[in-house]
Amino acid sequence: MADLQTLRKEFVEESGRYDLVSDYEGGNYANNGADAIIQAGLKILDSLQETPDSRRDYKFNTTSLQYKQQIANLRFVEEVWAYNSDGRYKLDQLTITEMKNKYEDVPSMLDSGAPLYYSHILRLAPGQNLYANHAAMVAAVAAGTPAFTMDYETALADSDFSHSGIAWNPPADGIYTLTVTGMFWSVLTADDGVCWWSVHYPDLVKLAARAIIEKKYRNFGGYQEFKQMIMDELRGIDLDLVREDINFAGNQRKG
């Protein structure tokens, strides 16, 4: 097991890239670019191999008239469930086009009700993503200084591109607990932060980070060597997941 600070220190020492930290002489190993490379390495691992921690639930309570939610580090959505005092039910998925055809008006003009349908939500085009978040977009409209005055409500305002999200209709007529089940990226931010990879396979995280360096400097041979080492380790994880699926299927048949 290793937290981000430990990974940073060991990654720098093993790669010799002391320029990616500051004050290593004093033993602090403060981030000076190493964290971005470690995070890029985590993306490689997430892309190559699903883990028991890849699939997660994102839960939140809606407010009255709410119709969308931004979600950090979401890769894709598998399903959405709603729960209130009347019970739990699953929302039907629509494409963005199907949602627009079914609900032709913007959310603020629709009657509220129990959320029934959800769709993915798109970011604004490059050059139009002018707001840090949806609240900033709404504030600009209210102040009379919007980038555009109509049909802004279903856009995803996210200036750092770290969020995805969902939209639903009808807009909620009260408090519902929505559960978004999907695949999420692994993230390390705080020095004492951990993720599934850093807890179970810290050496793999360091190998992936070193692969990123080789790729960055167009050392294709070095990159391929690190990638092969990574793939050798990932086979064991994949076999564990296959065994789990086979065991589950066997138990289902017995039941």
Place of tokens 């490059």: 126
Judged against a pLDDT cut of 80, whether residue 74 lies above it is answered with: yes
Q: Identify the CA nearest to 215 among candidates 50, 46, 49, 37.
A: 37
pLDDT digits (tens, 9 = 90+) for 107-117: 878 899 999 99
Please, which residues have CB within 8 angstroms of residue 233's CB and are 6 or more apart in sequence?
201, 203, 204, 207
Q: What is the mean pLDDT of the chain?
A: 86
Q: Please determine, for residue 45, whether its predicted confidence score (pLDDT) is greater than 80.
A: yes
Cβ neighbours of 187 (radius 10 Å): 15
Cβ proximity of 172 and 67 under 8 Å: yes
- List Cβ neighbours of 24 (8 Å cut-off, separation of 6 or more): 12, 18
pLDDT surpasses 90 at 162: no
Taking the C-alpha atoms of residue 223 and residue 216, their distance in angstroms, rounded to an integer, is 9
| Pick from 121, 107, 21: nearest CA to 70 | 121
Looking at per-residue pLDDT, the higher value among 26 and 102 belongs to 102
Span 77-83, average pLDDT: 97
> In the predicted model, is pLDDT for residue 176 greater than 90?
yes
CB 38 within 8 A of CB 12: no
